[in-house]
Amino acid sequence: MPQARATLCVAVVAAVLASLALTSCAPAQLTISASPGLFPAFTPAVTDYVSRCSRTAPVQLTVDVPDGSSVSVAGQPPRGGSFTAAVTRGTSQSFTIVSQSSAGSSTYVVRCLPADFPRWTTTRSGTPQAEWFGLAPISVASTAASGDYSALFDRNGVPVWWRRTDPHLFFTYLPNGHVAWTTNAGTIVEEGLDGRHVRVLKPPSGRLDIHELQLLANGNYLVATNLSRVVDLRPIGGPASATLDDPVIEELTPTGEVVWSWSTVDHIPVTESDPQWRTLALAAPYDVFHFNGIGTDGDGRVVLSYRHLDAVYDVDRSTGEIRWKLGGRARTGSLTISGDPVFAGGSGFGGQHDARMLADGTLTLSDNGTNRGRAPRAVRYSIATGGGTATMLEQVVDPANVRSRCCGSSRRLPGGNWVSSWGLTTTGLAPGYGSGLVAELTPAGARTFGLSFQDDFFSYRAIPLPPGQVARTALRAAMDKAYPPCDRPTGCRTDDHRARGPGAAARVPLPPL
């Protein structure tokens, strides 16, 4: 009897120890690893992921499930413990991982990223005020191995929506919930998020300037159209008869009818070109003005930015009069700038971009500082037209020591943070090329979010979308409509490598930026 009791005790102890060992091996939270890897690395707090998977490169998942929970991968029966699963999906298709526990369920979405989607890195050191970042990584190299895409990235740096497009410069999310971009062929393409065609818009004459478009409240579009004009450039040391592009600002109806226009050449003399850009201004194709942005001020005026004038102009649409000018060479209506250390030191803008009037009447812009020996900055001014003054209210510089060759944007969010694309930057990059740095910064210049494209890619603009403007579920649904999901882990017999618009065409180098 004592021996039997001892044997029983040993068995009980062994069972308890085994139970403790099993308990200690179970993870405290769900862990998942994959090959090809997930971006970002899996954590239960993040719901959306991408992987460079495809029909020829299935995702191999290793799943460790906490006690009392179960996980279903791509519609497979829920399982607990540790297990592996293989999922086959085509490019841009998705599958789900559903975790069930006594506390409820959580759904994670993994989408196969195209193999030629440009590479990027992401950092996050705070809570961004923007919910989405509209970016269009493009390359200045005609031999780039990656393709041209437009994408909406979330606060974790995950592209939740993307669209393969032809080589392009400008991309934006429109107030009507559509997306639009300008093409090198001189057209505006507008689509629904699901790829549904809305329109292709082209000016009736001249060539669409690819740098900007604005959708107005009346449904029309503000654009610039380049018309050839013969201009006397002798006042700046050029030929007497030079054929150059006149950026004509136009309002187009959705059918392409011009209902308002304003000629740059007729209102701004060539003598206002900044001397630092004269090499470009005096050589064919005589890029004297280099328009790069339109903004509206809500008071019947438009705000125009010209890179090679290093200046911003406010134009009254009803009269065509230039109400004021900020930066560049002095003219009637030039504002006296105060509180700005750049101008106080005798310098000026360096190829600025993205001038915008805010609802409070202040002006924001992205000052590249190109050729000025300084970092780019986001700047905001109060404008007092009666006194002819502009007072700098704030400037924000990225903590990274970058220099901007061109392009970029700076948008101030309602909460006070800034989202900037510093354009084509030139610090720590491959020789001869630039890379794009996009950041959300506090007013003090602390970075809460950073995304950097690798190799020779950059984003001409960064379009921040505040919370509530577009839902994550809407972006997922749009992608699933464009790339229908599959209900079998091993994949479906569908053509998930369909051509997506003109992106399948050979890369065409971008024009001068």
Other CB atoms within 10 Å distance of the CB of residue 490: 11
- Quick one: tokens of 148? 């041209």
List the domain boundaries for the chain: 31-112, 120-485
> Hunting for tokens 């923007």 — which residue is that?
130
pTM reported for the whole predicted model: 0.90
Ranges of the chain with pLDDT below 50: 1, 4-24, 428-433, 495-508
Classified by CATH at the fold level, domain 120-485 comes out as: Neuraminidase (2.120.10)
CA distance 221 to 250: 8
Contact 92, 86 (CB under 8 A): no
Neighbouring C-alpha atoms within 13 Å toward the C-beta of 465: 21
Contact 423, 353 (CB under 8 A): yes
Give the phi and the psi of residue 39 in degrees, each rounded to 5: -125, 130
- What is the rounded average pLDDT for all residues in the chain? 89
Strands 409-412, 404-406: pairing is: unpaired
pLDDT in tens, 203-235: 999 999 999 999 999 999 999 999 999 999 999
Contact 404, 462 (CB under 8 A): no
Contact 375, 403 (CB under 8 A): yes
Instruction: Give the bridge partners for 123, in sequence order.
Output: 450
